[in-house]
Structure 1
Amino acid sequence: MTQERPQRANERRKAVILGASGFIGVNLARALAERGFDLVCFARHASEHWPAESTIILGDLAAPPSQLLAAMEGSIVFHLASSARPTAATDMAVAEIEANLVSIVGLLEATKGVDCRWVFSSSGGTVYGQTDAAQISEEHANVPISSYGTVKLAIERYYSLYRVLHGVDSVIARISNPFGPHQSAAKGQGLIAALFDRIASRTPVNIWGDGENVRDYIYIDDVTGALILLGLGGRAGEIYNIGSGVGTSVIELVRKISAVLRVPAELAYVPARGVDVRRNVLDIRKIERELGWRPAHTLDEGVALTYRWRQSHSPTVRVRDSGQRLA
């Protein structure tokens, strides 16, 4: 009996998104549907923004339903699920490990014989830690200064381990700071969303330190395009940075959003915190060299598109202060 040849990544037209109800997940689902993929959206709760033609499976990664395991066969599996945010606190570290690390290792063990390709959405900032580098390449040292970054790095290591021991096909995407449509400040999903809400409602913006911390911001359509490219053509076992390659300080970002809204920003300076790295800008030459990818949108273009989307979807912005970190 001849064994059927496993699919090559670029032949796969099925996709499963783990954590499909989040900001990246919703946008990735729409991008995959537009490209004609047979799509499965998996999350704890359904999203009204998922494409109508997608198959919905609800559940918890800690106890994955049999339908999910079956759907993974022959698919590109985008692992976006995460139940934590970067913070200086460690009081929830055990729960974070259980919810994110333990659950995915259990799923890897349960599916190590399944023919699928994994694309893991890691962190392009927190796994690297403090550095003075103008741009951070994938070979840079990993010295996370938060539990969030430590767990992301541990998950990366387990993907590598399962590749060595069981031949699991995986690619790691280290994403910088994505922003754009469907991002929610109330859910702590990003600084740009929070700034839009705060400035539009004339609520003071907390600036931690001097506001000169530099980050790499990338529009969500560029992120989803890169993830799909990695799913189809990224080299197995490799790590790829996904970012803009351009640094922007918090103060610069405040000015840009204030200008788009035509509302002056009220700033409230508070002491800096050790968990915030001073500079984080990703070197994206590897994914450009291997897959021809570069972001199609500048920060200004992305901010303008985000503003238009917010105008059409939320003409009146009401802000509920969740106590999240803003800048």
Structure 2
Amino acid sequence: MKVLVTGGAGFIGSHIVDQLLENGNQPIVLDNLSTGEETHLKDGIPFYRMNVQDEAIDWVFREEKPDVVIHQAAQSQVTQSVENPMMDAQTNILGTIRLLEACRCHGVKKIIYASSAAVYGNPEYLPIDEDHPISPLSPYGISKLTPETYIKVYAELYGLSYTILRYANVYGIRQVAHGEGAVISIFIDRLLRNQPLTIFGDGEQTRDYIYVEDIARANIAALEHGDGETLNLGTGVSTSLNDLVKVMGEIYGGKVEVKHALERSGDIRFSCFCVDRAKTVLGWSPCTELEEGLRWTMEYCRKKMDGVCL
């Protein structure tokens, strides 16, 4: 199966590409390298450096004729979406429409779309399931939700199959140490540089942290399953920042200095996903324990900082 992965040289996308190869599929990568690295890709993979909103995408589809599209490319920083909502919408909304038009015109069978926990806003109950009310708090949340509606309409109008995957807080190797939702990567980077960690508020706020390879496996499962479904991807485990720092300190094995700053307005206090539907529909489940994933990630970051070729 030929699978075009937008953002395929990036953090999550490159892991999806790796697993596509392992499962005997033929990945094609489209990435503007704003956060991705071409070195993440194995030799021989067709690679196109461009933005998802570029008109040239139509040419890529005409040349490569993908069967399925896995759409990972996005503007993913909440603060940037607030500062520049127009740019955020151009990438996340208009870019997705451009992609959907290419799918329609070139006979793509299915699109798998990476959505976000940001579409839910402040939780009314925990764990958050797919029936939870939708109330995004930022332009980013809106720009991740709007393509969901476009995708469903394209399914109705043109018969394009889809699976929408809403991600919890994804972490793991190849994640850049900046941006929203990258707290683990940021903390590891600061630990390895012997710099203090900053916690906003009391540190009791919780998130659902899922390892990147578990996210990639769900995308692979969605190639064959989950048509017409919207699914949460997380672990179902709630972890506070204080507990996260404790586990990271044990793995690091050195002194961890923590500084507290004022709680940021607009931050969600508690968040955790219910993933029962994804388990049932995809035949998938997260299998990486937090400590194990943190250990792999820290070792990767340590080697990269030491200049080891990875």
Normalising by structure 1, what TM-score?
Answer: 0.87
Rounded to whole Å, the distance in 1 between the matches of 2:60 and 2:250 is 45
1:144 corresponds, among 136, 139, 163, to: 136
Rounded to whole Å, the distance in 1 between the matches of 2:272 and 2:201 is 19
Rounded to whole Å, the distance in 1 between the matches of 2:154 and 2:199 is 42
Rounded to whole Å, the distance in 2 between the matches of 1:72 and 1:209 is 49
Give the C-alpha shift of residue 241 in structure 1. 0.8
Q: Does 1:247 align with 2:238?
A: yes
Q: Does 1:210 align with 2:198?
A: no
Q: Does 1:34 align with 2:27?
A: no
Q: Does 1:48 align with 2:39?
A: yes
Q: Does 1:116 align with 2:104?
A: no
1:169-210 CA-partner distances (Å, limit 9, x unpaired): 111000111111111204666111111111222212221111
Give the C-alpha shift of residue 71 in structure 1. 5.3
Q: What stretches of structure 2 of length at least 5 have no aligned partner? A: none
Task: Show structure 1 runs of 4+ deviating over 6 A.
Answer: none
Q: How do 1:16-165 and structure 2 match up within 5 A?
A: 16-45=4-33, 47-65=38-56, 66-70=58-62, 73-87=65-79, 90-113=82-105, 114-123=107-116, 125-165=117-157
Give the C-alpha shift of residue 41 in structure 1. 0.8
Percent identical among aligned pairs is 28
My pick for the range that moved more, 184-193 or 214-223, is 184-193
For residue 34 of structure 1, what is the amino acid of its counterpart? E
1:33-80 CA-partner distances (Å, limit 9, x unpaired): 121211101112361110213111222222242442225634221100
Note if contact 1:177-1:243 (Cα within 8 Å) is conserved in structure 2. Answer: yes
Q: Which has the higher helix share?
A: 2
Residues 1:74 and 1:63: Cα distance change in structure 2 (over 3 Å): closer
Q: Does 1:280 align with 2:268?
A: no
Residues 1:311 and 1:267: Cα distance change in structure 2 (over 3 Å): closer
For residue 25 of structure 1, what is the amino acid of its counterpart? G
Residues 1:220 and 1:176: Cα distance change in structure 2 (over 3 Å): same
Give the C-alpha shift of residue 260 in structure 1. 0.5
Note if contact 2:206-2:271 (Cα within 8 Å) is conserved in structure 1. Answer: yes
Give the C-alpha shift of residue 98 in structure 1. 1.5
Rounded to whole Å, the distance in 2 between the matches of 1:252 and 1:138 is 27
Q: What SS does structure 1 have at the residue aligned with 2:170?
A: strand
Rounded to whole Å, the distance in 1 between the matches of 2:109 and 2:42 is 22
Residues 1:89 and 1:229: Cα distance change in structure 2 (over 3 Å): closer
Note if contact 1:14-1:38 (Cα within 8 Å) is conserved in structure 2. Answer: yes
1:102-128 CA-partner distances (Å, limit 9, x unpaired): 1211331343242331000010x2111
Note if contact 1:33-1:51 (Cα within 8 Å) is conserved in structure 2. Answer: no
1:170 corresponds, among 149, 155, 162, to: 162
Normalising by structure 2, what TM-score?
Answer: 0.91
For residue 167 of structure 1, what is the amino acid of its counterpart? G
Residues 1:96 and 1:285: Cα distance change in structure 2 (over 3 Å): same
Give the aligned length. 303
Q: What SS does structure 1 have at the residue aligned with 2:40?
A: coil
Q: What stretches of structure 1 of length at least 5 have no aligned partner? A: 1-12, 318-327
For residue 291 of structure 1, what is the amino acid of its counterpart? L
